[in-house]
Structure 1
Amino acid sequence: MIDTGSGPVHICLVSDTNLPNLNPALANISESRFFPPKRVLLLCGTGHLEQARYLKDTLVDHRLVVDIHTIDDGLDPIEISSLIGQISAVFETLSPEEKQLAVLNASGGGKALSLAAVSVFIRNNLPAFLVDTSNDRIVWLNGEERLTLDIPDNASLEDVLSGNGFKIIPPHPVRHDLNEKQILLGEKMAENVKKFSEVIGAFNGYMSRAKETEGYYQAGPVSHKLYKNHNFMKLVDCFCETGLLEWKKHHLVFRGQDAARFLRGGWFELYGYAVINQIKHDWAEQGYPVQIGDVASGVNIESPTGSRNEIDIAFLCNNRLYLIECKTGYFSPSSHPSGPSSTMLYKLDWLKDLGAPASKTAIFSYRALPDHDRERAQQMHIEVVAGWPDIAKLRVFLENWIEVPQTN
């Protein structure tokens, strides 16, 4: 049940980006009496009404009382007296108790709307703040509040996506309870990427032919050529150490379809997840300037128009959404630019508009990508980490890719 008692009230200005309104509304900051709010008023122009509705639905799910007030912002920026009047009328809907605990989040809206809202709060001797998205903190514009506050990353991936009109649909995202053997597999595969990337295609091809036979999940015998290939056999040894695979004479036997699916590429997705999770843990222990928030894999997303896509890894950090595709497949240098790799690239290009500010996207490929795919990724502002030595230095890439505040 939603608590309708009086308490802190956030008045927020809605624009294309919802995270600067979402994170403060979900924050519990002991250093300030304005967090967490009990009620949120969303002020928006007619062009952002739909965005306000998305944000309202998300906040209501967190048991907040939320109202939307449409402001006619189709005015010349110099003529803001009407805007001030409209915002003042909204302010007067608050009870006397609520007025004493009202605060303006002036991060969104156009310049005229923001200026008018700040003017109303200054006239009423009430505080207003901006979200410094590059440093993930609250900066006060006026009032007695002077302490710059870090914003805790309480928003989940579901919150961020729903706040922008997208839904996470089944099968639901996985927040892994990481298995030590599976993590060790990823580390060994990354260390040996130069050698193993040459034979992993043969291994994947072998697994794709596996089926249930006489109580075992297996393919035909491993060819003599592969059996004599040192790198192939060493790769198989790494997979056998997980307990999901074993030799039965010259056959490789898998512990069912799920095991084969994991060894055919799921391990690489889990490795990327594990590296991000380890950075998250290390940064939390070190008190690093930013902290990684929610992390999940296998995130199935539906757009407001009904289009659906799955992203392998998604995580939040410092008011930004990060999206990653993980591949162990082969992309031929001679393939047509509209071939299999284009699907992956255009999916990331579509998904990068989900976040606020714009998401950062990357491809992690265990094997090298053709030059034309790298060029297209660069044009789409999609980072590429592919083959040797990139995969062996995955953590270094992530530590440089994740944006951290600029220290003064």
Structure 2
Amino acid sequence: MSAGIAAGGMSRHVCLVSEEAAPNITPVLDSAVRPDGVILVVAPGMERRARWLGRVLREGAGVQVYPWPVADAWDIEYLIGCFMELLERHEDLTLNATGGTRPMSIAAFEAFRAYERPVFYVHPYTDDLFWLYPHDRPRHQLADRIKLRHFLMAHGAEIKAHGEVSVPPACRELTAYLILRIEALGRALGALNWYAASARDTLASAPIRDDHLHWPEFLELVARFQAVDALRFKGDRLIFPSESNRFFVNGGWLEEHVYDQVQRLRRRLPLIQDVARSLLVARNTRRGAVENELDVAFLANNRLYLIECKTRRFRPDEADEEGPGAEAIYKLDTLKELLGGLHAKGMLVSCLPLAEADRRRAADLGIRVCEGRQIQDLPHILHQWIMAGTGAHNISTAD
């Protein structure tokens, strides 16, 4: 027994620490089942996750947290003895059997049932709380109270910076026009994206190619972005007034559109509990902090959704290679699991169609793709994506 756990009758949850943090957090935030304290059962290899989880529970829920280390996460007889020792010292304990290894959850359940103490399990998709013992208690839909900051903190990441939450009306109107003509302007958008990227350090683009100076769609785009003061011509180069303007032309317009669509959907879909864009997060690793950029991130029904937005053109000769298309997909797959656990979801929104090989990669990794003209139907696609597997009722996305 950890010396920090005092004997007594205070209501406590006993949680089994694992890679999935949300099921151990959401019941603590719900007023219907909220405890006074939490005992974290920590198996070897879970010490860092226990620290992350403990910090969230203390800061986000305001409860006391006590670690309870176990030496073996797979020996059921040993584990039953550990849980019985815990139950001998505390009367008012409730087991959250969602996490841990399978032997840990079995051993904990057997011990708690023998002592006639309550046991519940949190469904990973519907976020329903089921009572395993006594089993005659009604299920409970947990409140969606956790925010991105604490959710990411529970997975060892901290938000260092984030983008503006409001989208200027003029930029929103321009973005709506670009989406409406996405097929006709797609190639020109890819070219403009390249020039904006070339201005990253100087705010002055590489020289505009002569054929681009005679490309009607490209010139139309330059004129429309110039009309909202995002750029101007100077000689044979594009000049950007600020880094935020350059970012907007360099694909930020698509990120803002996706963010705006999630915000609009949030007003009609209450299970979306938090949304952010242009996040810079720092992950704690054994080698130190590693920073990552997230285009759009949101929580729905206590599950993390990440969206990567791309306006660049993926060349046909990259189709069967580990090129930028594959890189974007692999990055998204890695980040969603690192920052959200096994049940997190990822989507790639691409202004231009992907190569067939990249579509297959995305499908194999469970990454949703929204490309080209499909972006015009993004509200419906987002709605279907969120609702899939949640068991929630269908809610209209019509404006």
Counterpart-to-counterpart distance in 2, 1:222 and 1:394: 32
Counterpart-to-counterpart distance in 1, 2:74 and 2:389: 37
* 1:309 and 2:267 correspond: no
Residue of structure 2 in register with 1:12 after alignment: 15
- The answer for unaligned runs of 5 or more in structure 2 is 1-5, 394-399
* 1:118 and 2:109 correspond: yes
Residue of structure 2 in register with 1:256 after alignment: 242
Residue of structure 2 in register with 1:87 after alignment: 83
1:43 to 41, 51, 55: 41
Alpha-carbon deviation of 1:167?
Answer: 1.9
Counterpart-to-counterpart distance in 2, 1:8 and 1:180: 51
The structure-2 alpha-carbon separation of the partners of 1:145 and 1:61, relative to structure 1 and needing over 3 Å to count, comes to farther
Conserved? CA contact 1:245–1:253, under 8 Å: yes
Q: How many residues align?
A: 381
Question: Over aligned residue pairs, what C-alpha RMSD do you find?
Answer: 3.4
The structure-2 alpha-carbon separation of the partners of 1:175 and 1:126, relative to structure 1 and needing over 3 Å to count, comes to farther
Residue of structure 1 in register with 2:396 after alignment: none
Alpha-carbon deviation of 1:73?
Answer: 4.3
Residue of structure 2 in register with 1:394 after alignment: 378
Alpha-carbon deviation of 1:337?
Answer: 1.1
Residue of structure 1 in register with 2:133 after alignment: 142
Counterpart-to-counterpart distance in 2, 1:212 and 1:76: 57
SS in structure 1 at match of 2:14: strand
The structure-2 alpha-carbon separation of the partners of 1:208 and 1:145, relative to structure 1 and needing over 3 Å to count, comes to same
Per-residue CA deviations over 1:277-332 (Å, capped at 9, x if unaligned) read 11112213xxxxx4343434323342513444322222222232222211111111
| Normalised TM-score (structure 2) | 0.82
Counterpart-to-counterpart distance in 2, 1:17 and 1:211: 38
Conserved? CA contact 1:299–1:313, under 8 Å: no
Counterpart-to-counterpart distance in 2, 1:391 and 1:183: 15
2:96 to 95, 102, 105: 105
* 1:23 and 2:26 correspond: yes
SS in structure 2 at match of 1:300: strand
Residue of structure 1 in register with 2:65 after alignment: 66
Per-residue CA deviations over 1:244-300 (Å, capped at 9, x if unaligned) read 34678998664333212212211111111111111112213xxxxx43434343233
Alpha-carbon deviation of 1:85?
Answer: 3.0
Counterpart-to-counterpart distance in 2, 1:67 and 1:142: 24
Q: Which amino acid in the other structure matches residue 392 of structure 1? A: Q
Residue of structure 1 in register with 2:397 after alignment: none
1:130 to 95, 99, 121: 121
Alpha-carbon deviation of 1:206?
Answer: 4.3
Alpha-carbon deviation of 1:365?
Answer: 1.2
- The answer for unaligned runs of 5 or more in structure 1 is 285-289
| Normalised TM-score (structure 1) | 0.80
Conserved? CA contact 2:310–2:350, under 8 Å: yes
Alpha-carbon deviation of 1:233?
Answer: 4.3
Counterpart-to-counterpart distance in 1, 2:107 and 2:198: 66
SS in structure 2 at match of 1:140: strand
SS in structure 1 at match of 2:146: coil
- Greater alpha carbon shift after TM alignment, 186-195 vs 306-315: 306-315
Conserved? CA contact 2:74–2:104, under 8 Å: no
Q: Which amino acid in the other structure matches residue 309 of structure 1? A: N
